[in-house]
Amino acid sequence: MINLNAYRFTRTLSVTCSIAILYRYWGISFIGFAFMLFPYIITLLLANQGAYQTKFNILLRTSCGVLIAILALGLLLETGSDPQAGIGIGFGVVIQYGVIFVSEAIIGIASYKKTSV
């Protein structure tokens, strides 16, 4: 039961953040827009029922979704359109990619089983 709740919670956070980013940054270029929206799409695609099989996966993927949602708040509450704000937005998006990569790498390393040929 807990994995279904975590799965739905992560999906809801991902969809909410992507809608907020869509609303806030609608006028930028397509490549910049895709760069900003892609972490939420990755989180949404990783939040499926098969991915939440063990408690370790539930913990890491749910915490990844929560961290990305917190970073999305930072992207939405930026102060202005000066160059430093643009650098901060780019840094926040790169941190989101890093959070996804690290959580999936830890899951991959922990679930690796050496097979004999």
Task: Express each pLDDT in 30-86 by its tens digit.
Answer: 777 788 888 888 888 877 767 777 788 788 888 888 888 888 887 777 656 677 777
Q: What is the pTM of this model?
A: 0.73
What is the rounded CA–CA span in Å between residue 11 and residue 7?
6
Between 85 and 94, where is the model more confident? 94
Per-residue tokens: 45:
């695609």
Where residue 116 falls among pLDDT bands split at 50, 70, 90? low
Phi, psi dihedrals of residue 47, rounded to the nearest 5°: -90, 70
